[in-house]
Amino acid sequence: MKKLILLALFSAQCVFAFAKVYYVATDGKDDNPGTITKPLATIQKAQSLVAPGDTVYIRGGVYHMTEDQISQKLRGYACVSFLDKSGEPGKRINYWAYTKDKEKPVFEYSAVKPANFRVAAFYVTGSWIHLKGFEVTGVQVTIKTHTQSECFENHGSNNIYEQLSMHDGMAIGFYLLHGSDNLILNCDAYRNYDNFSENGRGGNTDGFGNHPQPGSKGNIFRGCRAWFNSDDGYDCINAYEATVFDHCWAMYNGMDSNFKSAGDGNGFKAGGYARRPASELPNPIPQNTIQFCLSVGNKANGFYSNHHIVGSFWYNNSAYKNTVNFNMLNRLKDEVNADVPGYGHKMRNNLGFAGRKETDMLDVSKCDLSHNYFDMNLTATADDFVSLDEKLLTAPRKADGSLPDNGFMKLKPGSQFVDKGVDIGFPFKGKAPDLGAFESGK
């Protein structure tokens, strides 16, 4: 046994020893070898050199992207960085910000305006890839009719997108179309507004677009934030497979940063298929899970079922000051335009406060409801919470990229919602879980 352990350790050390490291920098050149002293200029060139297990470190500074850096044109897209090379299990290909000196790479795309093409800053078809720690800004839309661009578009599997910031452009922040078992972790999408297409109303720019096609299973959004995106924070309108949203936040979507009305304005739009006939619906209909999420000040709904055909799973979510905090609107499967109060939803430990309307379109007789503030006849007040200071929502993240730990909508020890939840398998303190997204600490 001891020999086997030593052999395994030796093998692991050999794999690590043979993994290569490359560097990309704003003053690099693509005919350089990619060392720290002679870095490359582009991620695209770095991809041509890497093998499974290798790491590309991206030095800090602003990378002013240009149209001559477009790598591929396909499906109507101009793809600037086209990542189609895959890693392997245990040997990811890493594209990481170089953080030794707290450097921050920023990829800026305002000059990339290919006529009649959608723009994808990073178009990823490879698998077992890890992108971490950089910003994408200024991605453009160039088509006047119904269209979209994206900062990141995923088609691969087993990828990790971590600590990425997608902001101040016209594009959707992150867009998942194909691929399974991807993790979108601790990413921010904010101030994205398409003011060019469809009369500039901003109706197709979401923070996170989750639209997995048939077979694209097991995807998770965790610890992400979306605010001031002109359409929705998180959108699942065309999702054919179930997805988990875990500890994610959505604020002020459907508006620009001056609170001017724009697109739909839902925090979490967790359903779809409003106008599709039964013959075109997924089989089975996916049931998304939204847990420990926070939705604040969105133009329309905080948590929204969006004409879905079945119910979803809603656990320990908190909603504040949305037009409707929880809107569970469904439709009938066999009637395209037959909207009905929500049915089949499973809701536990949810909490809302100060919505213009707390709940809407919810058929309590056809849902599995327990230990939610609205079915316990409990009404929140400001005194239940440590803080309702909305400036805390966009505070800097922790050093490890996780969400800021502050008192927003966290319950005071004496709140009526402490220990009022039901155990659904997640850790908690005290006699029972608290209502809402945050345990009080008691």
User: Can you list the residues of the chain whose pLDDT is less than 50?
Assistant: 1-16
| Burial class for 218, CB neighbours closer than 10 Å (0-12, 13-18, 19+) | middle
Whole-Å CA distances, 75 to 109, 117, 176, 204, 397: 20, 9, 15, 18, 36
Residue carrying the six token digits 């006699």: 431
Looking at residue 17, what is its pLDDT? 55
Nearest to 216 by CA among 230, 236, 189, 186: 236
Omega cis (within 30) before 284 = yes
Tens of pLDDT, residues 187-224: 999 999 999 999 899 999 999 999 999 999 999 999 99
Domain residue spans of the chain: 19-256, 283-324+337-442
Q: What is the architecture, at CATH level 2, of domain 19-256?
A: 3 Solenoid (2.160)
Q: Sort strands 346-348 and 351-353 into parallel, antiparallel or unpaired.
A: unpaired
The whole-number pLDDT of residue 242 equals 98
With vertex at residue 285, the alpha carbon angle to CA 284 and CA 290, rounded to the nearest 5 degrees, is 130
pLDDT computed for residue 11 by the predictor = 39
Q: What share of the chain is helix, strand, coil (3-state, %, to 5)?
A: 10, 30, 60
Tell me how far apart the alpha carbons of residues 440 and 158 are, in angstroms, rounded to a whole number. Answer: 34
> Looking at residue 225, what is its pLDDT?
99
The pLDDT of residue 442 is 55
Neighbouring residues of 27: CB distance < 8 A, sequence distance ≥ 6: 39
Whole-number Å distance between alpha carbons of 326 and 318 = 10
Question: pLDDT (tens digit, 9 = 90+) per residue, 362-379?
Answer: 999 999 999 999 999 899
Please state the φ and ψ torsions of residue 165, each to the nearest 5 degrees: -115, 125
CATH architecture label of 283-324+337-442: 3 Solenoid (2.160)
CA distance 35 to 54: 13
Q: Is it true that 19-256 and 283-324+337-442 share their CATH fold?
A: yes
Give the global pTM.
0.95
